[in-house]
């Protein structure tokens, strides 16, 4: 028979009491599930762990307590093997005579009851914030786990020390630090033979760090403990270790894999980036500077089994960020389809943010049935790297001071926006991000640059501007190392070199092949290299365009000749629409169009007259 969960009342959760067990038989767990009200819940620890489809294990001795009535002798309760390992190791780490009270979703929520699961996920912000602390379970231990954790502790202490030995650089310093750690020096940490090093690498490369749910768990509770088997390590120690390595306070061989500073325009490539990103999220959350749509984008490569959890796993953070605002809420409901959940979330973001930033994550066409074109497919976004034009840091202002005017028809799946159709696309290039984009080494790249610069030069729209300046600002969406527009001095150095590349080339034809000879490439300076490094980030997953009136810019990859460029109320950047005026349009995404980014078309009475004639209806595909 299936285990019978006592029903939960409104405002209740279940906690699990892990009772003392025989150390000689650690797999014989004794526990009790108790229904408690959140407003009077006893002290408990919330468990963060990785769900795995590795079969189930029966916990045979499970009692229940509801309203003070304890029921013994229930049928055994089947849990996943990964959860069983977590509970067993937490019990092993607890003094024999002490009962440990925990909350874990896989056992405290009746996963077979969709209504209960939906209601409990709705409460997760309170569940994690009210917990004494959050235990992040990395995985099972082996014979080298303890020495790996001791090595990590030594590395942190060594990194913070001011001993003279740390003043050395290069191999001499590396050798001294490895000797101080007692692991011996090798040129590369990646293949280090010491068992503690291998165990630490294995521990930190485990997939626990890619779980999407860990964001909510870590942001809502600042007291976190990491466990590998029954061995414990403070979360702060791992964070300090990542910081010290990234700041080169430790030897170069002690990199433990891909580190560096957190790259917030790309996915998480390592446990280190995850740890640092969680710290960044928490700092932004505590200072009330964490935007909901930014959180959706910056977590889009983290993992969850159910695509609806791309929204629900972050729901508790959304509620905490936006607790004081009014408007429609996102009601957790696992009976809804993916399209319904994503549409609810898009409506929530549009209503609460007062802007159109939700459109920033629309790029590729979705195949999700019933998903409107104006709603991002967040499970698809996790497979894309693209630069979001409208975001919290962006300084664009295509709509000027005009506030958003949007109406959502829930039944038809449409959003009505007030704005104008500014222009139509007359030319679209292939994907701008050519492989190994380096004009100094790739003739094809240089030819591409020259061809499209000539298009800008031929445009009447930019007669009073420098064509090279217009071109480079368009290719980088007028953003350099940071989101605000690239500084003018950049054109003197980096873009001066771009001009050199395109005007100073010697075009020679050999048969049917064109070859570019670039003189003096070695004279390029750091600013040019900076431009080359940032250009791919801005242009990734976009195409270069020209419009009928001569504008140039970057468009979503699906854009085609004949599509419209529109400026709408509340829109920081232009939108690309497909369709026929007077009928529902399809939204393709955001665009950078040089000359339309700072309110140029909304100035004066002419815009107010024109805007009354055009209302864009964006419907499902």
The region of weakest confidence among 92-96, 222-226, 592-596, 603-607 is 603-607
3-class SS string, 567-616? EECCCCCCEEEECCCCCCEEEEEECEECCCCCCHHHCCHHHHHHHCCCEE
> Where is pLDDT greater, at 430 or 121?
121
Of 112-121, 202-211, 221-230, 450-459, where does mean pLDDT reach its minimum?
202-211
Q: The pTM is what? A: 0.83
Report d(CA 487, CA 469) in Å as an integer: 11
Alpha-carbon dihedral angle through residues 262, 529, 451, 566, given to the nearest 10 degrees: 40
CA 261 – CA 242 distance, rounded (Å): 9
List the one residue out of 362, 379, 360 whose CA is nearest residue 588: 362
- Please state, as a whole number, how many other Cβ atoms lie within 10 Å of the Cβ of residue 410: 11
pLDDT band at 377 (very low <50, low <70, confident <90, very high): very high
- List the single range of 60-69, 146-155, 267-276, 526-535 with lowest mean pLDDT: 526-535
Mean pLDDT within 377-397: 73
Which band of pLDDT confidence, cut at 50, 70 and 90, is reported for residue 310? very high
**Tens of pLDDT, residues 561-618:** 999 999 999 899 999 999 877 778 999 999 999 999 998 888 755 555 555 445 555 5
Report residue 399: phi and psi, to 5°: -90, 5
Choose between 82 and 479: higher pLDDT.
82
Mean per-residue pLDDT, 72-98? 83
Using the predicted structure, report yes or no on whether residue 1 has a pLDDT greater than 60. Answer: yes
Tell me the per-residue pLDDT of 14-71, one tens digit each, with 9 for 90 and over: 999 998 876 666 678 888 999 999 999 999 999 998 876 668 888 888 888 877 666 7
Would you call 188 exposed, middle or buried from its count of C-beta atoms within 10 A (0-12, 13-18, 19+)? exposed
| pLDDT of residue 489 exceeding 70 | no
Q: Whole-angstrom Cα distance, residue 183 to residue 152?
A: 12
Confidence of residue 413 (pLDDT cuts 50, 70, 90): confident
The residue behind tokens 């829109």 is 571
Q: Where are the alpha helices (DSSP H) in 112-182?
A: 114-122, 124-130, 145-160, 170-181
Residue 523 reports pLDDT greater than 50: no
pLDDT the model gives residue 146? 92
Residue 444: C-alpha distances to residues 435, 438, 439, 553 (Å): 10, 9, 8, 20
Alpha-carbon distance of 529 to 66, in angstroms, equals 66
Mean pLDDT across the stretch 525-529? 51
User: Comparing 215 with 514, which gets the higher pLDDT?
Assistant: 215
The rounded distance, in Å, linking the Cα atoms of 388 and 380 is 15
According to DSSP, the residues that pair with 226 across neighbouring strands are: 136, 233
Bridge partners (DSSP) of residue 225 are 135, 234
- CA 296 – CA 42 distance, rounded (Å): 33
Q: Please determine, for residue 487, whether its predicted confidence score (pLDDT) is greater than 60.
A: no
Average pLDDT in the chain: 78
**599 burial level (CB within 10 Å; 0-12, 13-18, 19+):** middle
Beta strands in 380-481 (DSSP E): 406-409, 414-431
pLDDT at 165 over 50: no
Among 277-281, 338-342, 379-383, the minimum mean pLDDT is found in 379-383
* CA-based torsion, 465, 469, 475, 476: positive or negative: negative
**Band of the pLDDT at 373, cuts 50, 70, 90?**
very high
């Amino acid at each position: 028979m299936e285990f019978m969960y006592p029903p939960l009342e409104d405002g209740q959760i279940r906690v699990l009491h892990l009772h003392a067990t025989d150390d000689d038989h650690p797999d014989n767990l004794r526990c009790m599930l108790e229904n408690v009200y959140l407003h009077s819940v006893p002290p408990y620890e919330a468990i963060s762990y990785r769900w795995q489809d590795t079969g189930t294990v029966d916990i045979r001795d499970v009692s229940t307590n509801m309203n003070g009535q304890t029921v013994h002798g229930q049928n055994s309760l089947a849990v996943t093997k990964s959860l069983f390992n977590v509970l067993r190791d937490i019990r092993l780490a607890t003094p024999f005579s002490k009962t440990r009270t925990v909350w874990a979703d896989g056992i405290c929520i009746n996963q077979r009851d969709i209504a209960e699961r939906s209601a409990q996920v709705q409460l997760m912000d309170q569940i994690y914030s009210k917990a004494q602390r959050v235990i992040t379970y990395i995985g099972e231990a082996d014979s080298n786990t303890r020495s790996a954790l001791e090595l990590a502790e030594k590395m942190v202490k060594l990194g913070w020390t001011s001993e003279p030995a740390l003043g050395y650089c290069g191999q001499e310093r590396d050798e001294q630090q490895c000797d101080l750690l007692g692991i011996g020096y090798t040129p590369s940490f990646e293949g280090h033979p010491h068992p503690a090093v291998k165990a630490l690498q294995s521990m930190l490369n485990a997939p626990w760090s890619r779980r999407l749910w860990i964001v909510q768990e870590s942001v809502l509770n600042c007291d976190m403990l990491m466990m590998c088997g029954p061995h414990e390590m403070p979360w702060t120690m791992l964070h300090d270790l990542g910081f010290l390595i990234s700041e080169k306070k430790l030897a170069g061989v002690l990199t433990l894999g891909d580190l560096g500073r957190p790259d917030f325009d790309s996915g998480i490539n390592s446990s280190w980036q995850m740890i640092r990103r969680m710290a960044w999220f928490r700092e932004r959350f505590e200072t009330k500077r964490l935007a909901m749509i930014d959180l959706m984008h910056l977590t889009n490569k983290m993992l969850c089994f159910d695509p609806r959890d791309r929204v629900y796993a972050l729901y508790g953070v959304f509620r905490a960020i936006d607790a004081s605002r009014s408007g429609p809420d996102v009601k957790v409901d696992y009976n809804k389809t993916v399209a319904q959940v994503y549409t609810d979330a898009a409506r929530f973001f549009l209503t609460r943010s007062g802007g159109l930033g939700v459109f920033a994550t629309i790029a590729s066409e979705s195949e999700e049935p019933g998903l409107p074109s104006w709603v991002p497919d967040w499970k698809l976004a996790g497979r894309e790297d693209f630069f979001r034009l409208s975001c919290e840091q962006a300084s664009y202002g295509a709509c000027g001071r005009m506030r958003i005017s949007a109406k959502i028809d829930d039944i038809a799946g449409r959003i009505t926006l007030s704005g104008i159709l500014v222009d139509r696309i007359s030319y679209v290039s292939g994907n701008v991000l050519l492989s190994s984009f380096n004009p100094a080494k790739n003739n094809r790249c240089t030819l591409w640059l020259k061809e499209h610069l000539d298009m800008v030069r031929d445009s009447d729209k930019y007669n009073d501007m420098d064509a090279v300046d217009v071109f480079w600002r368009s290719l980088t969406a007028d953003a350099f190392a940071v989101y605000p527009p690239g500084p003018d001095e950049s054109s003197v150095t980096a873009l001066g070199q771009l001009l050199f590349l395109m005007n100073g080339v010697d075009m020679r034809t050999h048969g049917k092949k064109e070859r570019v000879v670039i003189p003096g490439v070695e004279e390029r300076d750091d600013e040019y290299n900076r431009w080359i490094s940032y250009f791919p980030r801005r242009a990734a997953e976009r195409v270069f365009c020209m419009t009928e009136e001569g504008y140039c810019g970057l468009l979503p990859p699906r854009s085609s000749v004949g599509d419209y460029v529109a400026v709408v109320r509340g829109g920081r950047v232009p939108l690309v629409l497909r369709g026929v005026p007077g009928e529902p349009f399809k939204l393709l995404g955001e665009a950078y169009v040089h000359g339309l980014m700072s309110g140029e078309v909304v100035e004066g009475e002419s815009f107010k007259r024109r805007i009354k004639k055009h209302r864009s209806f964006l419907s499902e595909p």
